[in-house]
Structure 1
């Protein structure tokens, strides 16, 4: 379990595979290991670096405030310690907001950028979802919070068809030995709602892929469309019938599309 010092905190990460570096940034409350089903495809071609963001997994969990700019600095610090001059950067949900700030802060260090279920700023609706999740995490039993989260991130069809799997995840939440402390989860929620890159994303010139599910009720499709409208060079991939977790709803398609994008933009060709 490698741990390094970055931006004033201990930051945990794991590495898989060989090739050009691919830094993987996960979403709200989740450790880097949640990338597992994607890394199985990526690690055959890339040196995958799975990051536990500030507040999650094995990384330090200081008191807030957290911002996506601060977590981007954590990520760039990790690249510095690992002597990574340039990397592909991919983020899911909160990770995609962090990825935006990495690309803005260190444009010459980003080979390609993948923004999955992303936003450049929260609207009132999405801010309210983050606020509700923060309140729920602070006050609900772990299994009930998992149910709330599942109802938001999965489509009704996925929830119905995978109920036993999701029920097992709710039960497992009660057995978690080291759950994320509420102050860290709330600080990550605040980082998500305060994220603001509107009017700045046009400066990013790295090849960019934007993916989104058209049934996403957490970070709805119009938020990704706004990013695509500002990043005219970006490729947009809409997963029809999928929600916030389109990367799992359509796992094989997601892995194929994102891996193709990464391979097309390798420095080695």
Structure 2
């Protein structure tokens, strides 16, 4: 897999498809491969760039602290290395926080911005979630931690319908021969906690889509609504009956809505 030097570290990425560039930024503890179910739709229209964020996948895993602004600079450096002047950006959870920072740090580099299950600033509840995950990751078995995470990001209904899938994900975490180091996971958690773009987002003029599940208990809808109050031109799509993983709970709709939005803003 290709690797570039960016912002003092190595960033691993994968390219798929052809068309205008689309940078895909995944969430806490995950690498770019987790975009697979979406890239199958996107790569028919876009040059998809799946990024392993600092600390994840094949990218460098330095000691913390990390910040979302730091990871945004990592991503901007990747664009520089690939000779990409501007791109569409889509981020899920922590990836959406990084995407916000890219849009603020380098607005001319962003053609469209899709923020999924996002926040501009943690509330007390979300801080406590990230603190709990940070502590649990360092002490629990990988499959037990995966189960804990699933309880926060998947709805009860998803558990009833898809227990086999969830159990397979747990087993996959246990079988992973190269798990994310605890120090890197902790540093990503701290980046999520410290992320704060409140009061800055009104400067974003880029076409923006915000998506969120109405049953998200991890990053509840009011956090996305706060972003929409600042980015007043943003389109908002609420996924009824879905949780933090609305992009999987309602995969067909998510791919359709996000793809139509990005295509609408192609040159």
Q: TM-score range by the shorter chain?
A: over 0.9
SS of equivalent to 1:242: coil
Deviation at 1:168, TM superposition (A): 1.1
Tell me the residue number matched to 2:146.
Answer: 146
CA distance in 2, matches of 1:168, 1:87: 35
CA distance in 2, matches of 1:8, 1:31: 19
CA distance in 1, matches of 2:182, 2:38: 28
SS of equivalent to 1:112: strand
Q: Does 1:177 align with 2:177?
A: yes
CA distance in 2, matches of 1:109, 1:94: 19
Deviation at 1:85, TM superposition (A): 0.2
Matches within 5 A, 1:17-32: 17-32=17-32
Deviations 1:37-72 (A, max 9, x none): 000000000000000000000000000000000000
Tell me the residue number matched to 1:94.
Answer: 94
Matches within 5 A, 1:6-45: 6-45=6-45
Tell me the residue number matched to 1:266.
Answer: 266
Deviation at 1:262, TM superposition (A): 0.4
Report the TM-score when normalising by structure 2.
1.00
Tell me the residue number matched to 2:69.
Answer: 69
CA distance in 1, matches of 2:159, 2:119: 24
Matches within 5 A, 1:123-202: 123-202=123-202
Tell me the residue number matched to 2:224.
Answer: 224
Deviation at 1:33, TM superposition (A): 0.5
**Over 4 Å off, 4+ runs:** none
Alignment gaps of 5+ in structure 2: none
Between stretches 169-178 and 43-52, larger displacement belongs to 169-178
Tell me the residue number matched to 1:84.
Answer: 84
Report the TM-score when normalising by structure 1.
0.99
SS of equivalent to 2:188: helix
CA distance in 2, matches of 1:28, 1:109: 24
Count of residues in correspondence between the two structures: 267
Deviation at 1:169, TM superposition (A): 1.1
Deviations 1:84-115 (A, max 9, x none): 00100110000000000000000011100000
Aligned-CA RMSD value: 0.4
